[in-house]
Amino acid sequence: MTADATEAWGKPVSYLKSVPSPDDGAAASKLMWCRVALADGTFGYVRSDYLRDTGTKNAAGLPVYAGTEDGVNIRPAPSTDASSVPLGKLNAGDLVTVIGQVKESNAYSWQRGPLDAAALQSKLSAYGLSGPLATLEVSQRGPSGRVTELKANGQPLSLPNPDTIRTALGGLPSTRFEIEQTGRYTIVGADGATRELPDAGGPLYALGAGSSGPAPLGDNMVAMSADGQVRVLTKKPQYVMTGTGYGHGVGMSQWGARGYAELGYDYRKILQTYYSGVSIVKDGS
């Protein structure tokens, strides 16, 4: 979906409405990346063509893969761009547990982070955040699903227009995204009691199947939901932004125009699709 003008600039423009756009061609040729857990507790991403399925699973039922080449980079995000500094190397035969798969970040779908709370705090202080960053949430969206308001510590950030959100969060490709806060989660006990983390109530202990005793819950652990979804847990709050789109999103999309052309649209129909209610006339001069 393209953006309504209000989603980028905070004010309407009659011919710039949110409309469907076949932008997914940007992702068509991209490979899948596996999110992996290494034996030393490191979490990162490895491109799928550098891994093979061993056919075995760990105690939690997650698949175990092996590296196929030496010196393969393990990255913090599914991307090879300059900001994705490798976390380490994977060699042929090294075993990893796969906890998920995503497409390589591209102009259609992307991921940024993890970003530490302290790093985000320094950026958001220019937009009204005071004190340490404890929570960051999407509090309002526009017609296309793009974020038009963010709350930090429960208070809306002061932004000149919605598109400034991209700058405030360190240069996101677009404002159509979700936020995952890895350091915040809820533990539900057998008696229905809940505990929000992080908190000041002392350490939390986890007891694994076949373990000799409880161990303190810390970094390098994952939680699995009843439907098999896995989430990485961290001691300190970190934020991962996952979204779609590239740019402010208003008007004609380059990838979308290509997609419509491949569907047989001519230039007139493409323009009239992206610019609502306009007429195309020949200049008489």
pLDDT tens, position by position, 145-174: 999 999 999 999 999 999 999 999 999 999
Q: 16 near 251, Cβ under 8 Å?
A: yes
CA distance 15 to 169: 29
Helix (H, G, I), strand (E, B) or coil at 257: helix
Task: Return the amino acid letter for 257.
Answer: A
Beta strands in the chain (DSSP E): 32-37, 43-47, 51-57, 63-67, 72-74, 88-90, 95-103, 109-116, 136-141, 147-152, 155-156, 176-181, 185-188, 194-197, 205-206, 215-216, 221-224, 230-233, 238-244
CA distance 47 to 73: 9
What are the strands of the beta sheet with 63-67, ordered from one edge? 43-47, 32-37, 95-103, 63-67, 51-57
CA distance 52 to 95: 10
Q: What is the pLDDT of residue 223?
A: 78
Q: What is the pLDDT of residue 219?
A: 63
Q: What is the pLDDT of residue 199?
A: 65
pLDDT in tens, 40-88: 878 899 999 999 999 999 888 899 999 999 999 999 889 887 667 888 9
Average pLDDT over every residue of 107-116: 89
CA dihedral 7, 11, 15, 20 (to 10 degrees): 10
Residue 220 has pLDDT above 70, yes or no: no
| Residue 70 structure tokens | 């030496």
CA distance 37 to 56: 15
pLDDT in tens, 236-269: 788 999 999 999 999 999 999 999 999 999 999 9
Residues in the chain: 285
Residue in the block written with tokens 């969206």: 141
**CB atoms closer than 10 angstroms to residue 214:** 12
Q: 62 near 99, Cβ under 8 Å?
A: yes
| Residue 282 structure tokens | 């020949």
Q: What is the pLDDT of residue 209?
A: 61
Residue boundaries of the structural domains of the chain: 31-105, 185-233
Maximum C-alpha span of the chain: 86
Mean pLDDT of the chain: 88
| Residue 51 structure tokens | 């891994």
Q: DSSP code of 162?
A: T
